[in-house]
Amino acid sequence: MRGHTDAVSLGKTINRETHKAYLAGLIDGEGCITVLRRRKVKRGKVYIFYEPHIIISNTNRQLIEFIRATYPGMVTTQRTPSYPNAKPVYRYAATRDGTKRMAKQLEPYLMLKKSKQSSYRISLCFFIADGREGHNRR
């Protein structure tokens, strides 16, 4: 049955739908969805384009590595020098492809705040994930 294939995550077996809902919960609670405005100069022309980004931070490295194994992305470690006894924070940042896949697969499960700004960001992320983005010349 589609959507009910078991997956092994963090040593536990869960079905795909539970897996997606869990990851969406991580984004809601520990993550950020944002759109970055980028500028690129090519052959004397300036191109403005927008890239969606999904970022999740946590002190559990195994959890962050689990996310990276599911969706392409980078993991970085952040330590706070002014708090030497604090746990390191691991940060997952989805690649462009990882963001597209996450946006398509996890959108039904996200419970983000219903502000205009977050609605705008989510809409733009899904717009871009659908492949309708383009470069705007300025």
From residue 25, how far is each of 56, 76, 121 by CA, in Å?
11, 21, 17
Structure tokens, 54:
């999904």
d(CA 92, CA 101): 15
Partnered with residue 42 across adjacent β-strands are 45
Checking if the pLDDT of 2 tops 60, the result is no
pLDDT at residue number 105: 86
- Residue appearing with tokens 């705008």: 120
8-64 pLDDT, tens digit per residue, is: 455 566 688 888 898 989 988 888 888 778 888 999 999 988 788 899 999 999 999
Architecture in CATH of 6-137: Roll (3.10)
DSSP secondary structure letter of residue 5: -
Q: What does the domain layout of the chain look like in residue ranges?
A: 6-137
58-117 pLDDT, tens digit per residue, is: 999 999 998 998 888 999 999 887 888 889 999 999 988 888 888 888 888 887 655 555
Q: Decide: pTM greater than 0.75.
A: no
